[in-house]
Structure 1
Amino acid sequence: MKCYRENDPNKIAIIGAGGVGATTAYALMVQGIASQIALIDINKDKAEGEAMDLNHGSSFIKPAEVYAGDYSDCKGANVIIITAGANQKPDETRLDLVKKNTEIFKEMIPEIMKYNDNAIILVVSNPVDILTYVTLKLSGLPKNKVIGSGTVLDSSRFRSLISRNCEVAASNVHGYIIGEHGDSEVPVWSLTNIAGTSLDNYCPVCNYNCGNEDRKEIAHKVKTSAYQIIEKKGSTFYAVALAVARIVRSILRDENSILTVSSLMEGQYGVEDICLSLPTIVNSSGIKRVLELPLDPEEESGFINSANTLKETTKKLTL
Structure 2
Amino acid sequence: MTKIGIVGVGAVGSTFLYACLNRNFEANYILIDAFQPYSEAQAKDLNDAACAMASNGSVFCSGSYNDLKDAKIVVITASVKPKNDKLEDRMELLNDNAKLIKEIAENIKKSGFQGITIIASNPVDLMACIYKQVTKFDANKVISSGTILETARMKKFLSSKLNVKASSINGFVIGEHGSRCIVPYEKIRVGFSSLNDFLENKLIEKNYLNQLLEDVKNEAFVIISNKGITNFGIGESLAEITSAIIYDTQAVYSLGVELTNDYKAKGIYFGLPVILGRNGYKHLPKIELNRIQQKEFDNYSLEIKETAIRMLKDLKIDYQF
Same topology, TM > 0.5: yes
Alignment length, in residue pairs? 309
For residue 171 of structure 2, the aligned residue among 161, 171, 175 is 175
Matched, 1:280 2:269: no
Contact 1:11 1:34 in 2 (8 A): no
Higher deviation after alignment, 68-77 or 18-27: 68-77
For residue 182 of structure 2, the aligned residue among 183, 186, 192 is 186
Equivalent residue, structure 2, for 1:142: 138
Cα pair distance change 1:267/1:210, threshold 3 Å: farther
Higher deviation after alignment, 233-242 or 289-298: 289-298
Tell me, what secondary structure is at the counterpart of 2:5?
strand
Q: 1:315 deviation in Å? A: 2.8
Matched, 1:38 2:30: yes
For residue 222 of structure 1, the aligned residue among 192, 216, 226 is 216
What is the CA RMSD across the aligned residues, in angstroms?
1.6
| Aligned residue identity for 2:80 | A
Question: 2:274 and 2:81 mapped to 1: Cα distance?
Answer: 27
Q: 1:313 deviation in Å? A: 1.3
| Aligned residue identity for 2:310 | K
Contact 1:278 1:291 in 2 (8 A): no
Tell me, what secondary structure is at the counterpart of 1:279?
strand
For structure 2, the residue ranges without an aligned partner over 5 or more in a row are none
Higher deviation after alignment, 125-134 or 51-60: 51-60
Matched, 1:53 2:49: no
- Give runs of aligned pairs for residues 84-233 of structure 1, distance below 5 A: 84-88=78-82, 89-202=85-198, 209-233=203-227
Equivalent residue, structure 2, for 1:242: 236
Higher deviation after alignment, 254-263 or 305-314: 305-314
For structure 1, the residue ranges without an aligned partner over 5 or more in a row are 1-7
Question: 2:245 and 2:301 mapped to 1: Cα distance?
Answer: 26
For residue 257 of structure 1, the aligned residue among 229, 251, 259 is 251
Q: 1:166 deviation in Å? A: 0.6
Q: 1:195 deviation in Å? A: 1.5
| Aligned residue identity for 2:48 | H
How high is the TM-score relative to the length of structure 1?
0.92
Q: 1:34 deviation in Å? A: 4.2
Question: 1:92 and 1:53 mapped to 2: Cα distance?
Answer: 32
Tell me, what secondary structure is at the counterpart of 2:30?
strand
| Aligned residue identity for 1:47 | S
Contact 2:265 2:305 in 1 (8 A): no
Q: Residue deviations 1:197-256, cap 9 Å, x none?
A: 212224556x7x421111111111110111111111111100001111111111111111
Identical pairs, percent: 28
Cα pair distance change 1:62/1:102, threshold 3 Å: same
How high is the TM-score relative to the length of structure 2?
0.92
Q: 1:305 deviation in Å? A: 1.9
Tell me, what secondary structure is at the counterpart of 1:268?
coil
Q: Residue deviations 1:107-162, cap 9 Å, x none?
A: 11111112233111111100000000001000010111111010001101111110
For residue 63 of structure 2, the aligned residue among 57, 69, 77 is 69
Tell me, what secondary structure is at the counterpart of 1:278?
strand
| Aligned residue identity for 1:132 | A
Contact 1:13 1:77 in 2 (8 A): yes
Question: 2:192 and 2:15 mapped to 1: Cα distance?
Answer: 33
Question: 1:91 and 1:288 mapped to 2: Cα distance?
Answer: 33
| Aligned residue identity for 1:210 | I
Contact 1:145 1:287 in 2 (8 A): yes
Question: 2:36 and 2:62 mapped to 1: Cα distance?
Answer: 7
Contact 2:146 2:270 in 1 (8 A): yes
Question: 1:87 and 1:171 mapped to 2: Cα distance?
Answer: 34
Q: 1:294 deviation in Å? A: 2.1
